[in-house]
Amino acid sequence: MAALALIGVAFPAVARADEPPKKDKDADTVVITGTRTPERAQRATVKTDVVTREEAERRGATNVADALASQPGLVVNPGSYGFLGGVSALQIQGFDRDRVLILEDGERVVGDVGGAVDLSAIPTGDIDRLEIVAGPTSALYGSAAIGGVVNVITGPPRQEGPTARLRMEGRSLNGVVLQGNAAYAGRGRATWAMLDFNMSRLDGIEKTPGLPDLRVPNTSRRMVGIRAGTQLSRAMDVRIRLRSFRDRLDGLETQQTPGLGRFTIDTPAQTDRYTMHVIHVTKIGDKGSNLRLTLGRQWFDNFTARDRRDSVIDERHDRTHRMQSLEAVGTFADGPRTWVTGARFEAEHFEQELTRTSSTSEGPVTTRAPEVTPLSYGIAALYGQLSWKLGAFTVMPGARFEAHTRYGESIAPRLAAAWRASDLVTFRLSGGRGFRAPSAKELGFLFDHSVFGYRIIGNDALAPEKSWGVSADATVTPASTMTFRGSVFSNWVEDLIDIDLGGGINDGGVVQYSYANFGKARTAGGQIDAAFKPAPFLRAESSYAYTWTRDDVNDRPLPGRPPHQVTVSLRIEPGWKMELYVRSRIVTDSFLDQDTRAPGYQTLDVRVGRALWPRSQLYVGSVNLLDVKQDPGRIGDTRSPLGRILYVGLKADFPWEDE
C-alpha cells in the first residue's frame, strides 16, 4: 500500500498538466433512508453510509452482494447458508438473515430463501446508490429492521435529452456481464423514461475431480425494467417502475447406489420476481412540504428440485410469495420543524409445496403436499417523526404503531439527536426499539422427515422478536482533505425465534420439533474510519470494526460473527486518463461452537482503468486476487465459494461530453 501511495505522489505534476480537474462524483450525497427526509450524508441526523454506483463499479460489483462485500462494518457471507439459491445474506451489528431489512426505493423486498433475501439477485445495473443505516429502524420501516436497513435506490436520468450507459465484461469461469440503460428526458427533466437491463452468467465449479459434481452451480441472471416519470403540474409528479427478474442456477451431483450404479442428479433452482410501483408526489407550498403516495405489487415464484436422470424418484419444492402495499407519507416543513407522518397497509400470501415421486411395491407414487401451510396476513401501520432544529442541535423523536393479523400489535419508538459543535465536529446519538414479525415459514412450516425420525412444524402462536438498540458517533473534519469518524453501538434482543431442539415431543417414535420464542442475545461494538484526499488524484480510506455478541441462553457468542474487520482502500488517478483502485479486507475467525471456529481470511481487489474517450473507460481487474475460497469439507466455512475472479471490461456513457 505504501508503494502504491508513492506511485500516486510521483505523478502530481503530470495529473495537473494534461488533465483538467474532475468533479468528484463520490462527494457528499443527499440521503433519505435514515430519516425519510432529504439530508446531506455528512450532516444527516442519523448516520447513513453510501455506496454510489461509481464506487460499486470500482469494487468490481455486478450485484448488491458484491458492492457490500467489503463495506466497513458489514459482513456478506455467501457461504453461510449453503449455495441453495445462491443466497448472499448481510450481517449488520451482529444480526443477519431476516433481521436486516432490504429495500428497493423504500419498498421491502419479498421472497427470502433460507430466511435471507438474496443480495446477489439484485443487480447494480440500474442503481444510483446504496444507503446503509445500522441499528434498529423499525420506527420508520417496521418488521425486520433490528440490525439495520439497506436501501437500493434508483434515480432518473442525470441530464436532459437522450442518454445511455453500457457496461460489458468478460470474467473468469466463462463469465459474461452486460448491463446498462437507455433514457430520454425532456426539458428540465420534467418528463422522462428509462429502459434498464442486466444479464450475467458464470460457469459452475467442480466439487470432485473426475466426477461431474458441482460445488457451485452454473449461474444465469437477467433483469429488464422500465421506469418513467412526468410532472403533471407544478405541484404534482408521478413515477412508475416495472421490473422483471429471472435467476437460474443449475447444479449437478452424483450418487452411488448399491447394486444400481451411480445416478446423476440435476439440482436446478429458479426464481422469477416481478415488481410494480407507482409513486405520486404532491408538493404543498414552497417550503419542502409534500404528500407521497406509493402503490406496490410484488410477485415471487421460486422452485428447487432434485431430478435424478433415468429415474422417476424426484422431488421439487415450489414457493410463491405475493405482496400488495399502499403507503401515504406526509412531510410538513414548518420553519425549524419538519414533521413526517405516514400510514402503510400490506397484504401478503405465502405458499410452499413439496412434490415427491417415490418408488413403492406398486410402482412409482407421486405425492404433493404443503411444506408450509398457505398463509395470508395483513399489516396496518401508523408512524410519525419530528425533526426539530434548535440552532446547532437537531432532535428527532418518532414512533410507529403496527398491527398484524397474526401476532397482534407492536410499538417501536425512536429518538435521535445531532449536535453540530462546529463546522469541523458533529456528534450523533440515537436509540430505538426494533422488532421482527415471525415469517410465514416459522408460522406454518411442515417439514416431515419421519423416515429419519423427526419432523418440524410451525407455530402460529409466535410473538415478534423485540430489541432495544443505541448507537453514537462523532465525525471530525479538520480539513477538506480528511475526515475521521468513530462510532459505538449496543443492542439487546429478546424472544428470538428458533427451532426448540430441547422441547421435542416423541410421537410414535418420531420426534416433533417446533419454532419457539426462547432466545435472548446482546451485541455491541464500535468502528473507526479515516478518509484522506490530500490531492485531487489521490484518495485513501481505512476502517477498523469490532463486534461482540453473546447468546444469553447458552452463555456463548453468537455463531458466525467475526469480531474484527479491517478495510483499506486506495484510489489513484496518476494522469494519462488512468485510474488505479486497490481494496484490501481482513476478517478474523469467528466462533461456531465450543470445538469449531469459522476461518478468518484476507481479500484483495485491484482494478486499473483508462479512459478511451470522454465518459468511457477500458478496465481490467480482479475480485479476491489472493484466491481465498471456501473449503467444501470444512464446517462453517463462510469464505467465498468462487475464489479469484479476473475480469476485463468496457463502460461508456452517452453523450460523450462531460456533464
Work out how many domains the chain is built from and give that number: 1
Parallel, antiparallel, or unpaired: how do β-strands 289-308 and 148-153 relate?
unpaired
> In angstroms, how far is the first alpha carbon of the chain from the final one?
33
Confidence at 360, pLDDT banded by 50, 70, 90: confident
Q: What is the predicted pLDDT for the residue at 79?
A: 52
CA distances from residue 435 to 132, 139, 313 in whole angstroms, order as listed: 18, 9, 42
Secondary structure of 154-185 as H, E, C letters: CCCCCCCEEEEEEEEEEECCCEEEEEEEEEEE
Residue 252 lies in a domain: yes
DSSP state of 415: E
Lowest mean pLDDT among 9-13, 167-171, 362-366, 614-618: 9-13
> Across residues 497-521, what is the average pLDDT?
85
208 found inside a domain: yes
- Is residue 603 in some structural domain? yes
Query: Mean pLDDT over residues 183-203, rounded?
Result: 95
The per-residue pLDDT for range 548-599, each reduced to its tens digit, is 999 999 999 998 899 999 999 999 999 999 999 999 999 999 998 888 898 9
Give the mean model confidence (pLDDT) for residues 480-501.
Answer: 92
What pLDDT digit, counting tens, does each position of 128-137 carry? 999 999 999 9
| Domain harbouring 563, CATH code | 2.40.170.20
Tell me whether residue 123 is in a domain.
Answer: yes
The share of the chain scoring above pLDDT 70, in percent, equals: 93
CA distance 545 to 533: 22
**Residue 381 placed within a domain:** yes
Q: What is the pLDDT of residue 451?
A: 64
DSSP secondary structure letter of residue 659: -
The pLDDT value given to residue 114: 62
185 belongs to a structural domain = yes
Domain containing residue 25: 2-654
Tell me if 151 is assigned to some domain. Answer: yes
Residue 659 included in any domain: no
Contacts (Cβ under 8 Å, ≥6 apart) of 60: 66, 605, 607, 621, 622, 623, 645, 647
